[in-house]
Structure 1
Amino acid sequence: MNEVKELESELRAEGVRITRQRVAILSALSDSEDHPTAEELLERSRDFDSSVSLATVYRTLSVLEGRGAIQRNEFEGGGARFELSNRPHHDHLIDIDTGKVVEFRSDKIERLQEEIARELGYELVHHRMELYGKRKS
């Protein structure tokens, strides 16, 4: 089953009617390789269906977030940004000058976090890492 169909199932499970506008939003989310804001999703959704409204974007995002299908990121210095939850785990580096979000994965960091949790007597069940930086001149 492709991502759009999976997201449609998430909405249907909440009793949300699947409209052309919602399919456009789901398609824009599925096509995203970055971390769009609701406003950016509105613009991208309108490439699929020009009648999409911001209210429909917010309602759809709210339901998907409640179902755990998407993740809301609240990076410092910016509004909420969204990404699909079914993507492989990664951490974020945020450029404080441009707001650009860079995804990265480091096995070394993952091992160190597990080790720290274990040393403190915990089993790590979830984590998020956000690094903030400036490009070197």
Structure 2
Amino acid sequence: MTGVEQRVAVFEGQLRDAGLRMTQQRRLILRVLAESDDHPDAKGIFTRAFAHDPTLSLSTVYRTMKVLETQGAIERHSFEDGVSRYEHAGQQHHDHLIDVESGAVIEFSSDAIEELQRRIAADLGYELVRHRLELYGRKMRPTSRRKKG
């Protein structure tokens, strides 16, 4: 069983646990989500799935995503643009850098940042339980160098 198939099976189990029956449209939504390596929003998931089933409704996507979030199968992120984006839950901890021009979401990990956050919490008398770090930036443009002479 591939990673995508495993994620689909986990998602299906989460929907069944929530009392939903598995329809072809829900299976399609789950497959699109499982194949996603970006942070799609509901409209992006809808667009990808709609290409395979034009009878799909956006409300079905929203309901399915809400149940998956409630069941803990996915995490919802609301970045600065206000659009809810989703990613698979249970991944190794990572932070996000959001390109303010393109909207791209880049995942990264930094042991130095993790240690600094733990130290700050400890200095303030706290044990860090969880956190989210979102950085917003734009690609740096290479500076033009003048030729001498």
Q: Normalised by the size of structure 1, how large is the TM-score?
A: 0.93
State the superposition RMSD in angstroms: 1.4
The answer for the alignment partner of 1:3 in structure 2 is: 7
The answer for the alignment partner of 2:63 in structure 1 is: 59
How many residues are treated as equivalent by the alignment?
137
- Separation (CA, whole Å) in 1 of partners of 2:91 and 2:51: 23
How far does the alpha carbon of each residue in 1:80-130 deviate from its partner, in whole angstroms, 9 at most, with x for none? 111111222110101111111111111111111111112212111111000
Give 1:47 shift: 4.5
Structure having the higher Rg:
2
The answer for the alignment partner of 1:116 in structure 2 is: 120
The answer for the alignment partner of 1:81 in structure 2 is: 85
Could you tell me which runs of 5 or more consecutive residues in structure 2 were left unpaired when the two chains were aligned.
142-149
Whichever residue aligns with residue 66 of structure 1, its letter is T
Identity rate, percent: 51
* Corresponding residue SS for 1:7: helix
Q: Normalised by the size of structure 2, how large is the TM-score?
A: 0.86
Whichever residue aligns with residue 36 of structure 1, its letter is P
- Separation (CA, whole Å) in 2 of partners of 1:114 and 1:27: 37
Could you tell me which runs of 5 or more consecutive residues in structure 1 were left unpaired when the two chains were aligned.
none
Give 1:48 shift: 4.5
